Amino acid sequence: MKKEIIFDDKETGLILDNFIKEILNSKINFKNAAIIGIKSGGVPLAGLIRKAVSERFDIDCKIGYVDMTLYRDDPFSVKKSGDATELAFDINGKEIILIDDVINSGRTVRASIDEIFDFGRPEKIKLAVFIDKGGRELPICPDFIGKKIRAGKKEIINVDVLSKKKFVEKYEL
């Protein structure tokens, strides 16, 4: 399995900075917002965005994590208990910023939204993805995108924004 670095530390850092700035400069009411990261790739990004929101607006923005595996509808997903979702706040009436590292078919996002609605009814959900690799199978459109790339259906995109050397890489199954 040959891995290819698409964006190195410097490029990934610039994309990340611009991605976070776009979210911060949007019309989101952060006083009534909550950030939800899709496990597992959206979790580190959700933490970074929450930190930026808290620093810029001096508020304690709610954060949670969603595990959508019970709602996956693709034939290759493994169903598990679904007890890993962590939402320790009331989502009713909140403006949710749903975060993931990579969007492809849209099935993960759809499954995550289904899981969120099991916890209540948010006012709205905004979708933020770091990498959009295309390939949609469902009518899901992100509100915030770090970077669009072209990748084949069998190409996997791996994002690391927490390491000392950040990167985005791809490899084929």
- Over residues 74-117, the pLDDT tens digits come to 655 555 555 589 999 999 999 999 999 999 999 999 999 999 99
pLDDT of residue 111: 94
Q: How far apart are CA 141 and CA 110, in angstroms?
A: 11
92 domain-assigned: yes
Whole-number Å distance between alpha carbons of 43 and 63: 10
pLDDT at 78: 56
Q: What domain range is 51 assigned to? A: 27-151
Residue listed under structure tokens 């969603």? 66
The C-alpha atoms of residue 56 and residue 88 are separated, in whole angstroms, by 23
* Residue 3 belongs to some domain of the structure: no
Number of domains making up the chain: 1
Band the pLDDT of 40: cuts 50, 70, 90.
confident
The answer, yes or no, to whether residue 17 has pLDDT greater than 60, is yes
Mean of per-residue pLDDT scores for the chain: 92
Structure tokens at 169: 């890489």
Give the Cα-Cα-Cα angle 17, 65, 31 (nearest 5 degrees). 65
**Band of residue 126 on the pLDDT scale cut at 50, 70, 90:** very high
Which CATH number does the domain housing residue 62 bear? 3.40.50.2020
Across 17-32, average pLDDT: 98
